[in-house]
Structure 1
Amino acid sequence: MNEIFQSVGTTVPEKAKFLQLVFVDINGVPKGMEIPASRYEEAVKEGIAFDGSSIAGFQGIEDSDLIFKADLTTYAEVPWEGIARVYGYIYKDDRPYPADPRGILKGILDRLAEEGYSAYVGPEPEFYLFKKNGTWELDIPDNGGYFDLITLDKARGLKREIAMYMPAFGLIPEVLHHEVGKAQHEIDFRFSNALRTADNIVSFKYLVKAISELHGYYATFMPKPLYGFPGNGMHLHINLSAGDENAFIGQDGLSETALHFIGGILKHARALAAITNPTVNSYKRLVPGYEAPVYISWGYRNRSALIRVPAFWGKSARIEYRCPDPSTNPYLAFAAIITAGLDGVKRKLEPEAYVETNVYEMDEEEMESRGIKTLPGSLGEALDALKKDKVIQKALGGAYKNFLTYKEREWAEYVAYLEASELPIDIKKVTEWELERYFYI
């Protein structure tokens, strides 16, 4: 039994008595089941059957028999619970299940490899910490601001504890700091290949929430939990590699490959928003006046642009995609972004709307002259853009129809809530409907 585990550098669980089999639903929310650790080999070889009819974005009740097969390389033990967890892939009738987000990303990365590339991603997920008091009047536990230390940052010990647990899940912490908003924080971890990073984002969110709860806090990655406060973003640092070489390195900055990759993302940016910013609440963050980008543009060092090229060259050459937020399903987001970028590479799209000045200070005439368009202003508008973009639809594979159906229902429920409450559809304040739906997930 040990042979198949040793071949990938892991072993049969010895300390853990139970094993969590983890996958994500259409929203990127972790789902799964526990089995005795003695069934680990079965979970790897034959898989474990389950009913997918009640998983958001999965099968209907009439056709719901699915199989989970564990990915050995993702095994990790949860230190404070005495159990282990492993990610995997979903199968149906002995074939990869077409709506499995992790399987969709793997398929995109396999096609990327056929073009001679591999993708690497480094995320910057932000979160708020609250002490909840039984109402939606959220208790803010500290008054810190950006990079504040000691007296104003009341969560510094909690962040350190999270960072100390991260290596148990395969995450290497790099920077811990207070963000701009009161009680808002960020812990960055080392970049990796796109599949591993997507796994790491799911692990990180679980870890932050679990440790925070142990200390009496509620951590939320909700894009905009508080009106008038900065939103939670998840900037993504992305590059492609060709063999051992960074394909984004050029003689005088970025390579042609990198520029075409930027061109592809900009071309599909409005449809991508439905995936990278997939909630009603996401569009309460994407408003002028904060660091969240609204305008489809790019530049070097420019933090008002949708895509920023950081001031790091050589092996660190990369782009920073600034609109995604932590409510995204990372597997679907990476699949869509990489597909959009690769479309730009294949078609040799030149990136438009280059700007090095503050876009927020431009008037409409100047933006029009520079070819600067805007991201969707609502989930409904983003879904309309997705329905017109065949490239991004194809990236989502078997999840596209499920995703669209689920999200159109979500938008319709929100509009019905606003109508019943006699609120305008373009309301920018965070509603109780949003808090009820998104605060915990």
Structure 2
Amino acid sequence: MASSTADDGEGFASAEHEAEYRAFVEKHPDLEAVEFLLVDPNGVMRGKWAPGDALKKAYLGGVNFPMSLHGLDVWGREVNETGLHIETGDKDGYCRATRGTLSIVPWAKRKTAQVLLQTFTPEGEPFLADPRQVLKKKIAEVNEKGFFPVVAFELEFYLLDPETDWDDGMPAPVGATAGPDRLRMYGLDDLAEHADLFDMIRDAAQEMDLPIDTIIKEAAPGQFEVNLKHRADPLKAADDVILLRRIVIGCARAHGLTATFMAKPFLEYAGNGMHVHASMLDRDERNIFGGEGGRARLESAVAGLLKTMPESLLLFINTWNGFRRITPGSYAPTRAVWAENNRSVALRIPVSNEDNRRVEHRIAGADANPYLVLAALIQGMTEGIEGGLVPPPPVEGNAYDDDGLFLPDDMDDALQLMEKSAFVDRALGPLLAKVYKDLKRAEILAFWGEITPLERTTYL
């Protein structure tokens, strides 16, 4: 079986890249602008706008970006401890188009294209502080061992009304002003009320070749979930997440609304999660979790994920705010436990037949970096299978009442575990592992450097 990772930019001007570029400009000769998109270690999309004729550079050469883009904190500030900034001369790398991500921006006021880029060094080598390059390398490693991951993502988000003020300048979720208990989980009326928006989201996804499956009204006013179909190319699946977040935000703005994937925007309502369904194929494209010995391999993969979960938690919950989502009874897991058909656990085995037997990873916030989430999942599952690890017994009933291993509920505790972890270095590689830890330490210090309004009102 060939590698599940698509050819997406190794070398300049490959025949496939040139063909994609030529076909696009032939179809859109009136192109006025292009938006170049890059994803940093926090999962934040960065980039620049350029005239339409600049698209050629991304396909037939390279677009210059400082490699230090991958050393910015969540607010876009330089973190010098990463070693990627002025001490290097702030060098440019070459950023090249990711094949299969070129499309028209449907909400733009003039004819505009967009394309995801990935970073290479000036010498033409993959830059391994770029999360996409790291995941690409990880997939190639496990493919060599005969493992071919298949994944599907589910993302939750809120639609907000920017004309309202819910709390401290935060806009209200749509529908919340009709009553704070207007949850209407799985409600069809809420979908119908925003049918034009969701039609635009589906149309944009089709233009960008994103396999949207279901759209669901979730557990709070204005909260929805979009599910993506599974892909046997995890790199493309992670691209889908990045582009889907962009689609939802852009289409919501076009309809006069604001969309947020913030992990916990409202204390009184459910947080936004990013669940990942994952299985493994062999070289003959058979699910190794089915058939003879399949159940044992599934449990070994679960054991690998449980073992490495505390030390890699900061990859799944990558912001200070994200830890507010992890509370008992919230359907966001607080313990490293697993179970069959149970939504209170960190790792759920959904009801399925042997052909699509899989594990659902339920920890990540909707704002997490999907490339890093998958790198950790793939590494953990592979190590569990190769080591023949055995998990503890599955949880019965409410996992919040179980005595399983507690996960860190604080960003600093999570970072301390990560800093001691050899696993994270194996999952991300030494460069990105170092950069990521440096970024998280800087973000923690920024929060520690703030005096909150609550603290001040306690004494004044």
TM-score by shorter chain over 0.5: yes
Residues 66 and 90 in structure 2, CA contact (< 8 A), matched pair in contact too: no
SS of the residue aligned with 2:378?
A: helix
Give the stretch that moved more between structures: 19-28 or 194-203.
Answer: 19-28
Partner of 1:429: none
Residues 19 and 40 in structure 1, CA contact (< 8 A), matched pair in contact too: yes
Partner of 1:149: 188
1:105 to 121, 135, 138: 135
Residues 18 and 60 in structure 2, CA contact (< 8 A), matched pair in contact too: no
1:237-248 correspondence runs (5 A):
237-243=277-283, 244-248=285-289
Partner of 1:399: 432
Residues 148 and 178 in structure 1, CA contact (< 8 A), matched pair in contact too: yes
Matched, 1:346 2:386: yes
2:116 to 87, 92, 100: 87
Q: Which amino acid aligns with 1:174?
A: D
Give the stretch that moved more between structures: 298-307 or 344-353.
Answer: 344-353
Partner of 1:24: 39
* Inter-partner Cα distance in structure 2 for 1:44 and 1:379: 40
Question: Cα–Cα, structure 1 residues 116 and 77, in superposed 2: closer, same or farther, change >3 Å?
Answer: same
Unmatched 5+ stretches in structure 1: 424-441
* Inter-partner Cα distance in structure 1 for 2:41 and 2:317: 13
* Inter-partner Cα distance in structure 1 for 2:344 and 2:451: 31
Residues 144 and 178 in structure 1, CA contact (< 8 A), matched pair in contact too: no
Q: CA deviation at 1:310?
A: 0.4
* Inter-partner Cα distance in structure 2 for 1:144 and 1:258: 36
Q: CA deviation at 1:201?
A: 0.4
Matched, 1:387 2:416: no
Q: CA deviation at 1:314?
A: 2.8
Partner of 1:326: 366
Residues 13 and 37 in structure 1, CA contact (< 8 A), matched pair in contact too: no
Q: Which amino acid aligns with 2:289?
A: F
2:448 to 391, 399, 415: 415
TM-score (norm 1): 0.88
TM-score (norm 2): 0.84
Partner of 2:209: 170
Q: CA deviation at 1:419?
A: 7.0
Residues 17 and 59 in structure 2, CA contact (< 8 A), matched pair in contact too: no
Partner of 2:100: 73
Q: Which amino acid aligns with 1:148?
A: G
Q: CA deviation at 1:411?
A: 1.2
SS of the residue aligned with 1:23?
A: strand
Q: CA deviation at 1:145?
A: 2.0
* Inter-partner Cα distance in structure 2 for 1:74 and 1:420: 43
Matched, 1:60 2:106: no
Q: CA deviation at 1:230?
A: 0.6
Residues 236 and 321 in structure 1, CA contact (< 8 A), matched pair in contact too: yes
* Inter-partner Cα distance in structure 1 for 2:244 and 2:354: 29
Residues 119 and 241 in structure 1, CA contact (< 8 A), matched pair in contact too: yes
Residues 129 and 219 in structure 1, CA contact (< 8 A), matched pair in contact too: yes
Matched, 1:44 2:83: no
* Inter-partner Cα distance in structure 2 for 1:29 and 1:416: 23
- Counting aligned pairs with the same residue, the percent is 27
* Inter-partner Cα distance in structure 2 for 1:72 and 1:54: 21
Unmatched 5+ stretches in structure 2: 1-12, 74-81, 176-181
Question: Cα–Cα, structure 1 residues 38 and 232, in superposed 2: closer, same or farther, change >3 Å?
Answer: same
